[in-house]
Structure 1
């Protein structure tokens, strides 16, 4: 797993290259934890991540226990990571609310139920 962090003012972009699983989760969490406190927006750039297992859900949806709370978004989703996010959101939309990760997606409470 290669991780590149770019900081521009109060926004950080963490670009991942490789699969996200429980072996690669600790360095990804460490990269987010190492961000300076003035960073209020974190964007995970997954253009180099073709596969993500449930560890990716932990990475994207578990709030940090220390440090500042940050607005988190995701970009560059490949088919499999997107499928995982959509499946998790369909299973439990209150926990896996894609509206906070993906700009333009309405909150679960505003989406029409499937017929």
Structure 2
């Protein structure tokens, strides 16, 4: 059973996604599904990982899928609040520079 919850806010044309919990094989579809339900006009997306202590390869796949969706809309995904384990994973697979990141 996925233990991930996702809230979404809209701030000045930007979709801000707040996952809370681990993003793994079981829960990554919850993250992708929440974003797929976003409607209306938006010009950028921020995924705040400050409440994600753990992410596996399925979580990476989810971030790549979200980045692809942004690219299709002519925008870019920004990932913020990256905790230690997800940051190590991004660096390990050389995706640390793939996403725009902020502290």
The TM-score with structure 1 as length reference comes to 0.73
Are 1:29 and 2:32 counterparts?
yes
SS at match of 2:17: strand
The answer to whether the Cα contact below 8 Å between 2:79 and 2:100 also exists between their aligned partners in 1 is yes
With over 3 angstroms needed to count, the CA separation of the structure-2 counterparts of 1:97 and 1:76, relative to structure 1, is: closer
Alpha-carbon displacement from aligned partner over 1:13-68 (angstroms, at most 9, x marks no partner): 1111100001111111011111224112111111111000001211112323xx73
The answer to whether the Cα contact below 8 Å between 1:37 and 1:68 also exists between their aligned partners in 2 is no
Deviation at 1:101, TM superposition (A): 2.6
In the TM superposition, structure 1's runs of 4+ consecutive aligned residues that sit over 3 Å from their partners are 67-70
Count of residues in Structure 1 that have an aligned counterpart in Structure 2: 96
CA RMSD of aligned residues (A): 2.0
Are 1:75 and 2:74 counterparts?
no
Where relative contact order (Cα < 8 A, 6+ residues apart) is larger, the structure is 2
Tell which structure's C-alpha radius of gyration is larger.
1
Structure 2 unaligned segments of length 5 or more: list them.
none
